[in-house]
Amino acid sequence: MTTETSSAKHKQTTRDRILDAAERMFADKGLDGSSVRDITTAANVNLAAVNYHFGSKTGLIEAVFSRHLGPMNTARLALLDRVEEQAGESPPPIESVLDAFIRPVVMHHLAEHGANDAFMRLMSRCLNEPPTHTEQVKHHFDALMDRFHTAFSRALPDHSPSEIFWGVHFSIGIMHHTLHVLSHLHHLPFCPAESADAQTVVERVVSYTAAGMKAQHGSTISVKGPCGGTISTP
């Protein structure tokens, strides 16, 4: 097996050079926008090397995603484990669940001296790519979402399924968009200089999402039944 992470040895194998170049190019130009020729040229590698090492362009895409997604999601589950262990019998506070859900993702963004930036830009694009290339990647999230969904439900026991469902998705939307913003920070209008610190950003996201999820229940929305009528607009 020649599975060696690119930072372990000084000499990068052809496989790793392809992965690094593809990751960067996918993030910049999209999956369909990056040709195998561009990738192999940027990696200083022969054109046929992609099909030799990964079988096809689709196989390369799979490999690019899996290289980061596995470690990142196990980190999130491990953090959730610790949080639930600390809470004992009672459900952990929603802030801690959200922190376990979000922090490893944002942190991975700035890890490795910013070398993961390309993959994170790719990640925030993952949801919106044509399903052709990304369906094989979705299985990485199945077990993760199972665990976290029950954790969210336990942390907010009075919330309805619909409130949990939307609250979780709102948090996912914030998280993804935050990665996008972090990658384009210096090109965005109204951006204060001090907005990039990772710790602060994570805490902003957690406090924002926690407040949002709590407000989902018991606020001015007075529709009780599942198929309740519409509400008059303010």
Instruction: Write out the binding residues for DNA, residues 111-130 only, by CB under 7 A.
Output: none
Using DSSP, state whether 195 is helix, strand or coil.
coil
The answer to whether residues 162 and 94 touch, using CB atoms and an 8 Å cutoff, is: no
CB of 5 vs a copy of itself, minimal distance in Å: 25
Partner whose footprint covers residue 130, from a copy of itself, DNA, none (CB < 5 to 8 Å by kind): a copy of itself
Torsion of CA 198, 180, 72, 62, to 10 degrees: -160
CA distance 83 to 105: 17
Nearer to DNA, 47 or 223 (CB): 47
Torsion of CA 88, 93, 96, 102, to 10 degrees: 130
Tokens of 108: 């991975």
Nearer to a copy of itself, 47 or 221 (CB): 221
Nearer to a copy of itself, 37 or 177 (CB): 177
Nearer to DNA, 26 or 148 (CB): 26
Cβ-Cβ contacts under 8 Å for 222 (sequence gap 6 or more): 231
- Give yes or no for residue 50 binding DNA (CB under 7 A): yes
**Residue located via tokens 């999402």:** 209
Nearer to DNA, 41 or 153 (CB): 41
CB of 216 vs a copy of itself, minimal distance in Å: 6
User: Residues of 101-116 as b/e, b for ≥16 C-beta within 10 angstroms?
Assistant: bbbbbbbbbbbeeeeb
CB of 116 vs DNA, minimal distance in Å: 24
Partner whose footprint covers residue 178, from a copy of itself, DNA, none (CB < 5 to 8 Å by kind): a copy of itself
Partner whose footprint covers residue 114, from a copy of itself, DNA, none (CB < 5 to 8 Å by kind): none
**Residue located via tokens 């910049």:** 28
Partner whose footprint covers residue 13, from DNA, a copy of itself, none (CB < 5 to 8 Å by kind): DNA
